[in-house]
Amino acid sequence: MTDIRNIVVLTGAGVSAESGIATFRGPGGLWEGHRVEDVCTPEALAADPVLVHRFYDLRRAALAGVGPNAAHRALAELDAAWPGDLLIVTQNVDDLHERAGARRLLHMHGELTSALCARCGVRRGWHDALPPGTRCDACGAAALRPDIVFFGEMPYQMERIEAALARADLFVSIGTSGAVYPAAGFVQLADAYGAETLELNLERSAGSGFFAETRLGPAGVLVPDWVR
């Protein structure tokens, strides 16, 4: 990776697929048995908090039975060793990047293990059952919700992401379908800022045409190959 100093890595559900976490779209995807609009909007949360909380409780509980795979580990190694700027932007709400040891990481779509107070914005850990109606320690409102970015809500830390993309010499997208914005637009932004662009994915995605190079295969093979 000559002449590359600053790297932004975007990861999606495909990075965690080999750990046994279902992706969203496609056969066997998480949303096969759910209607997206039933669980992934603020309106759905307001209309049926019990259903939405149950959906996230199940996925949070599933984290206990899975672990990071070779792709998470390779990215953590890159993070530990890379002397330039590096930012791993994950769309994933699981905690497998951090469990593999990644540090320069941000969760743009939130985290399963975090609860957000919809009233005052304070966060707390969410590891065991936290039933709908649990009160916020900070403001006392019964407004704790999954700390997840639903459709129509602003993804987290967009300014920091855009600043990193502006400085990037290389943008690498791993295991994401390119179906959800603004993440799907990062490749064009990075390209416009002059970065090299590389996609690692099991199959061609909606965004493949925007990348200078696409390598097809499982993340558990492609990511270690790219990093080492």
**Site residues (CB under 6 A) for ligand BJW?**
12-14, 17-18, 23-25, 29, 40, 91, 93, 109, 148-149, 151-155, 158, 175-177, 179-182, 201-203, 205, 218-219
Rounded Cα gap, residues 122 and 56, in angstroms: 19
C-beta closer to Zn ion: residue 117 or 195: 117
C-beta closer to Zn ion: residue 153 or 203: 153
Q: Take residue 150 and report the two structure tokens written for it.
A: 């639903």
CB of 2 to ligand BJW, least distance (A): 26
Q: Take residue 27 and report the two structure tokens written for it.
A: 């056969």
CB of 140 to ligand BJW, least distance (A): 27
- 224 contact, one of Zn ion, ligand BJW, none, CB 5-8 Å limit per kind: none
The answer to whether 207 is annotated as binding is no
> Which backbone phi and psi does 200 adopt, to 5 degrees?
-115, 115
C-alpha distances in Å from residue 202, one per residue of 82, 150, 219:
25, 26, 7
C-beta closer to ligand BJW: residue 137 or 162: 162
C-alpha distances in Å from residue 214, one per residue of 91, 122, 193, 196:
19, 40, 19, 12
Catalytic, 107? Answer: no
> Which backbone phi and psi does 212 adopt, to 5 degrees?
-65, -35
The answer to whether 140 is annotated as binding is no
Binding site for Zn ion (CB under 5 A): 117, 119-120, 122, 136, 138-139
Rounded Cα gap, residues 26 and 50, in angstroms: 26
Annotated binding site for NAD(+): 12-31, 91-94, 175-177, 201-203, 219
